[in-house]
Amino acid sequence: MKKLLVIFILLAFMGSSAQKATSLNMPKYDTKTLHFGFTISLNTMDFTIHNSGSFFGLDSVFSVENIPHVGFNLGIVSDLRLNKHFNMRFLPGLDFGQRDLVYIVKDTDSTLMRHTMKIESIFLDFPLTFKYRAKRINNYRPYLLAGFDYKYDLAAQKKIDPKERPKVRLARNDAYYHVGFGVDYYLPYFKFSTEIKFEVGQFNVLRPDDSQFTEAIERMNSKMIVLSFHFE
Protein backbone atom coordinates (compact mmCIF):
# COMPACT_ATOMS: atom_id res chain seq x y z
CA MET A 1 0.00 0.00 0.00
CA LYS A 2 2.80 2.43 0.92
CA LYS A 3 4.66 1.59 -2.30
CA LEU A 4 1.58 2.38 -4.42
CA LEU A 5 1.17 5.76 -2.68
CA VAL A 6 4.85 6.64 -3.23
CA ILE A 7 4.60 5.74 -6.94
CA PHE A 8 1.48 7.90 -7.35
CA ILE A 9 3.05 10.91 -5.60
CA LEU A 10 6.18 10.66 -7.76
CA LEU A 11 4.13 10.50 -10.96
CA ALA A 12 2.03 13.48 -9.91
CA PHE A 13 5.16 15.48 -9.02
CA MET A 14 6.83 14.66 -12.33
CA GLY A 15 3.71 15.67 -14.22
CA SER A 16 3.31 18.99 -12.41
CA SER A 17 7.04 19.76 -12.86
CA ALA A 18 6.63 19.36 -16.61
CA GLN A 19 4.06 22.15 -16.89
CA LYS A 20 6.62 24.87 -17.70
CA ALA A 21 5.74 24.56 -21.37
CA THR A 22 3.13 27.10 -22.45
CA SER A 23 1.66 25.21 -25.43
CA LEU A 24 -1.81 23.86 -24.68
CA ASN A 25 -2.40 20.31 -25.88
CA MET A 26 -5.88 19.29 -27.10
CA PRO A 27 -7.62 22.50 -25.93
CA LYS A 28 -11.12 21.24 -26.92
CA TYR A 29 -10.79 17.78 -25.43
CA ASP A 30 -13.01 18.49 -22.40
CA THR A 31 -15.90 19.67 -24.57
CA LYS A 32 -16.47 16.14 -25.93
CA THR A 33 -19.73 14.58 -24.75
CA LEU A 34 -18.43 11.02 -24.87
CA HIS A 35 -15.01 9.45 -25.16
CA PHE A 36 -13.38 6.05 -24.61
CA GLY A 37 -10.07 4.53 -23.61
CA PHE A 38 -8.47 1.74 -21.64
CA THR A 39 -6.90 1.36 -18.22
CA ILE A 40 -4.13 -0.68 -16.60
CA SER A 41 -3.94 -0.85 -12.81
CA LEU A 42 -2.05 -2.30 -9.88
CA ASN A 43 -4.02 -3.39 -6.83
CA THR A 44 -3.63 -4.73 -3.31
CA MET A 45 -6.53 -6.95 -2.22
CA ASP A 46 -7.15 -7.24 1.50
CA PHE A 47 -9.71 -8.32 4.11
CA THR A 48 -11.23 -6.65 7.15
CA ILE A 49 -11.75 -9.52 9.63
CA HIS A 50 -14.19 -9.40 12.55
CA ASN A 51 -13.30 -12.14 15.00
CA SER A 52 -15.92 -14.32 16.65
CA GLY A 53 -15.96 -15.66 20.21
CA SER A 54 -14.53 -19.02 19.17
CA PHE A 55 -10.91 -18.04 19.75
CA PHE A 56 -8.48 -19.20 22.44
CA GLY A 57 -9.88 -22.70 23.03
CA LEU A 58 -7.76 -25.84 23.02
CA ASP A 59 -7.47 -27.58 19.66
CA SER A 60 -8.91 -24.51 17.95
CA VAL A 61 -7.91 -21.36 16.09
CA PHE A 62 -5.84 -19.07 18.30
CA SER A 63 -5.60 -16.12 15.88
CA VAL A 64 -6.07 -15.21 12.23
CA GLU A 65 -4.60 -12.42 10.16
CA ASN A 66 -4.60 -11.50 6.48
CA ILE A 67 -1.66 -10.74 4.17
CA PRO A 68 -2.38 -8.71 1.01
CA HIS A 69 -0.53 -9.18 -2.29
CA VAL A 70 -0.06 -6.98 -5.34
CA GLY A 71 -2.26 -7.83 -8.34
CA PHE A 72 -3.33 -6.08 -11.53
CA ASN A 73 -6.48 -4.90 -13.32
CA LEU A 74 -7.37 -4.49 -16.99
CA GLY A 75 -10.37 -2.52 -18.19
CA ILE A 76 -11.97 -0.17 -20.68
CA VAL A 77 -13.07 3.43 -20.11
CA SER A 78 -16.38 5.00 -21.11
CA ASP A 79 -16.66 8.64 -20.07
CA LEU A 80 -19.80 10.82 -20.30
CA ARG A 81 -19.50 14.59 -19.80
CA LEU A 82 -22.29 15.86 -17.53
CA ASN A 83 -21.22 19.50 -17.26
CA LYS A 84 -18.12 21.67 -16.96
CA HIS A 85 -16.77 19.90 -13.88
CA PHE A 86 -18.60 16.56 -13.57
CA ASN A 87 -18.23 13.37 -15.60
CA MET A 88 -19.83 9.95 -15.19
CA ARG A 89 -17.55 7.01 -15.96
CA PHE A 90 -18.13 3.29 -16.50
CA LEU A 91 -14.95 1.17 -16.40
CA PRO A 92 -15.74 -2.57 -16.70
CA GLY A 93 -12.80 -4.92 -16.45
CA LEU A 94 -11.03 -7.82 -14.77
CA ASP A 95 -9.25 -7.69 -11.40
CA PHE A 96 -6.60 -10.32 -10.60
CA GLY A 97 -5.23 -10.70 -7.09
CA GLN A 98 -4.49 -12.83 -4.06
CA ARG A 99 -4.99 -12.64 -0.30
CA ASP A 100 -3.51 -14.98 2.31
CA LEU A 101 -5.18 -15.94 5.57
CA VAL A 102 -2.68 -16.95 8.22
CA TYR A 103 -4.15 -19.09 11.02
CA ILE A 104 -2.40 -19.84 14.29
CA VAL A 105 -3.94 -23.05 15.66
CA LYS A 106 -3.48 -24.21 19.25
CA ASP A 107 -3.15 -27.98 19.49
CA THR A 108 -4.39 -30.08 22.43
CA ASP A 109 -0.94 -29.85 24.03
CA SER A 110 -1.00 -26.03 23.64
CA THR A 111 1.49 -26.13 20.76
CA LEU A 112 0.93 -23.30 18.28
CA MET A 113 0.94 -24.26 14.61
CA ARG A 114 0.86 -21.86 11.65
CA HIS A 115 -1.28 -22.53 8.59
CA THR A 116 -1.48 -20.25 5.53
CA MET A 117 -4.42 -20.31 3.12
CA LYS A 118 -3.81 -18.74 -0.29
CA ILE A 119 -7.03 -17.27 -1.67
CA GLU A 120 -6.90 -16.17 -5.31
CA SER A 121 -9.60 -13.96 -6.83
CA ILE A 122 -10.51 -12.98 -10.39
CA PHE A 123 -13.23 -10.34 -10.33
CA LEU A 124 -15.53 -9.27 -13.10
CA ASP A 125 -15.68 -5.61 -12.10
CA PHE A 126 -18.45 -3.15 -13.03
CA PRO A 127 -17.63 0.24 -11.46
CA LEU A 128 -19.70 3.38 -11.94
CA THR A 129 -17.79 6.53 -10.99
CA PHE A 130 -18.61 10.21 -10.68
CA LYS A 131 -15.60 12.42 -11.36
CA TYR A 132 -15.23 16.03 -10.22
CA ARG A 133 -12.57 17.90 -12.22
CA ALA A 134 -10.88 21.03 -10.94
CA LYS A 135 -9.87 23.87 -13.25
CA ARG A 136 -7.36 22.91 -15.93
CA ILE A 137 -3.87 24.33 -15.40
CA ASN A 138 -1.84 24.30 -18.63
CA ASN A 139 -1.73 20.60 -19.55
CA TYR A 140 -2.88 18.95 -16.34
CA ARG A 141 -6.07 18.85 -14.31
CA PRO A 142 -6.55 17.30 -10.82
CA TYR A 143 -9.79 15.55 -9.91
CA LEU A 144 -11.71 13.73 -7.20
CA LEU A 145 -13.88 10.66 -7.68
CA ALA A 146 -16.50 8.59 -5.87
CA GLY A 147 -18.79 5.76 -6.86
CA PHE A 148 -19.69 2.14 -6.41
CA ASP A 149 -18.80 -1.28 -7.90
CA TYR A 150 -20.43 -4.63 -8.41
CA LYS A 151 -17.85 -7.45 -8.44
CA TYR A 152 -18.33 -11.12 -9.32
CA ASP A 153 -15.55 -13.46 -8.22
CA LEU A 154 -14.89 -16.06 -10.92
CA ALA A 155 -12.42 -17.90 -8.68
CA ALA A 156 -14.71 -18.34 -5.68
CA GLN A 157 -15.20 -22.06 -5.11
CA LYS A 158 -18.57 -23.70 -4.45
CA LYS A 159 -16.79 -26.92 -3.51
CA ILE A 160 -13.26 -27.51 -2.24
CA ASP A 161 -11.19 -30.53 -3.15
CA PRO A 162 -10.54 -32.54 0.05
CA LYS A 163 -6.84 -32.50 -0.83
CA GLU A 164 -6.84 -28.68 -0.52
CA ARG A 165 -8.42 -28.58 2.93
CA PRO A 166 -8.38 -26.77 5.22
CA LYS A 167 -9.51 -23.84 3.09
CA VAL A 168 -12.31 -21.30 3.39
CA ARG A 169 -14.78 -20.42 0.63
CA LEU A 170 -15.79 -16.93 -0.46
CA ALA A 171 -19.08 -15.61 -1.80
CA ARG A 172 -19.08 -14.77 -5.49
CA ASN A 173 -21.01 -11.47 -5.28
CA ASP A 174 -20.00 -8.28 -3.55
CA ALA A 175 -20.79 -4.56 -3.71
CA TYR A 176 -18.18 -1.88 -3.06
CA TYR A 177 -18.05 1.87 -2.64
CA HIS A 178 -14.92 3.73 -3.69
CA VAL A 179 -13.32 7.15 -3.33
CA GLY A 180 -10.09 8.52 -4.74
CA PHE A 181 -8.23 11.26 -6.57
CA GLY A 182 -6.03 11.65 -9.61
CA VAL A 183 -4.48 13.93 -12.21
CA ASP A 184 -5.22 14.19 -15.95
CA TYR A 185 -2.24 14.96 -18.21
CA TYR A 186 -3.06 16.34 -21.67
CA LEU A 187 -0.50 15.04 -24.16
CA PRO A 188 -0.33 16.00 -27.85
CA TYR A 189 -2.41 13.03 -29.07
CA PHE A 190 -4.20 11.57 -26.02
CA LYS A 191 -4.95 12.13 -22.35
CA PHE A 192 -3.01 10.16 -19.73
CA SER A 193 -4.24 9.93 -16.13
CA THR A 194 -2.77 8.62 -12.88
CA GLU A 195 -5.30 7.76 -10.19
CA ILE A 196 -5.48 6.09 -6.81
CA LYS A 197 -8.70 4.91 -5.22
CA PHE A 198 -9.81 3.01 -2.13
CA GLU A 199 -12.54 0.36 -2.44
CA VAL A 200 -14.47 -1.10 0.50
CA GLY A 201 -16.71 -4.16 0.18
CA GLN A 202 -20.11 -4.10 1.92
CA PHE A 203 -21.04 -7.80 2.07
CA ASN A 204 -19.77 -10.57 4.30
CA VAL A 205 -17.81 -12.64 1.76
CA LEU A 206 -17.09 -15.59 4.08
CA ARG A 207 -19.15 -18.71 3.37
CA PRO A 208 -19.48 -20.55 6.70
CA ASP A 209 -19.05 -24.29 7.05
CA ASP A 210 -18.59 -26.66 9.98
CA SER A 211 -14.85 -26.05 10.34
CA GLN A 212 -13.12 -24.07 13.07
CA PHE A 213 -11.55 -21.88 10.36
CA THR A 214 -14.87 -20.21 9.54
CA GLU A 215 -16.27 -20.38 13.08
CA ALA A 216 -13.36 -18.22 14.23
CA ILE A 217 -14.55 -15.38 11.96
CA GLU A 218 -17.85 -13.59 12.50
CA ARG A 219 -17.62 -11.41 9.42
CA MET A 220 -15.07 -10.77 6.66
CA ASN A 221 -15.21 -7.84 4.22
CA SER A 222 -13.03 -7.23 1.19
CA LYS A 223 -11.13 -4.03 0.51
CA MET A 224 -8.73 -2.85 -2.18
CA ILE A 225 -6.32 -0.08 -3.04
CA VAL A 226 -6.01 0.50 -6.79
CA LEU A 227 -3.38 2.56 -8.63
CA SER A 228 -4.62 3.15 -12.19
CA PHE A 229 -3.14 4.46 -15.43
CA HIS A 230 -5.81 5.63 -17.90
CA PHE A 231 -5.23 6.22 -21.62
CA GLU A 232 -8.09 8.15 -23.24
- Stretch 2-26: mean pLDDT: 59
Among left, alpha and beta (phi > 0; psi -120 to 50; other), residue 17 is alpha
Task: Determine the Cα–Cα distance for residues 195 and 225; give it in Å rounded to an integer.
Answer: 11
Q: Which residue has the higher pLDDT, 67 or 113?
A: 67
- The CATH architecture of the domain made up of 2-48+75-98+121-207+219-231 is Beta Barrel (2.40)
Q: What is the pLDDT of residue 180?
A: 97
Would the CA dihedral through 113, 116, 117, 123 be positive or negative?
Answer: positive
The arithmetic mean of pLDDT across residues 5-25, rounded, is: 57
Torsion of CA 126, 82, 186, 227, to 10 degrees: -30
How far apart CA 185 and CA 178 sit, in angstroms, is 22
DSSP string computed for the chain:
-HHHHHHHHHHHHHHHHTTT--PPSSTTGGG-SEEEEEEEEEEEEEEEEEE-TT-S-TTEEEEEEEEEEEEEEEEEEEEEE-SSSEEEEE--EEEEEEEEEEEEEE-TTS-EEEEEEEEEEEEEEEEEEEEEE---BTTEEEEEEEEEEEEEETT--SS--GGG-S--EE-SEEEEEEEEEEEEEE-SSSEEEEEEEEEEE-S--EE--SSHHHHTEEEEEEEEEEEEEEE-
More confident residue, 163 or 39: 39
Query: What is this structure's pTM?
Result: 0.82
- Residues 79, 178: Cα–Cα separation, whole Å: 17
* pLDDT of residue 14 exceeding 70: no
pLDDT digit string (tens) for 45-80? 999 988 776 655 545 777 788 889 999 999 999 999
Phi, psi of 193 (to 5 degrees): -130, 140
Instruction: List, for residues 188-208, the tens digit of each pLDDT value.
Output: 999 999 999 999 999 999 888
Q: Is the pLDDT of residue 120 over 50?
A: yes
The residues spanned by each domain of the chain are 2-48+75-98+121-207+219-231
Q: Beta-carbon neighbour count of residue 157 at 10 Å?
A: 16
Output the pLDDT for position 232: 95
CA-only gyration radius of the chain, Å: 21
Per mean pLDDT, which range of 46-55, 112-121, 171-180 is the poorest?
46-55
19 confidence band (pLDDT: 50, 70, 90): very low
In contact, 75 and 39? CB cutoff 8 Å? yes
pLDDT tens for 84-100 read 999 999 999 999 999 99
Task: Lowest mean pLDDT of 1-15, 34-48, 116-130, 179-193, name the range.
Answer: 1-15
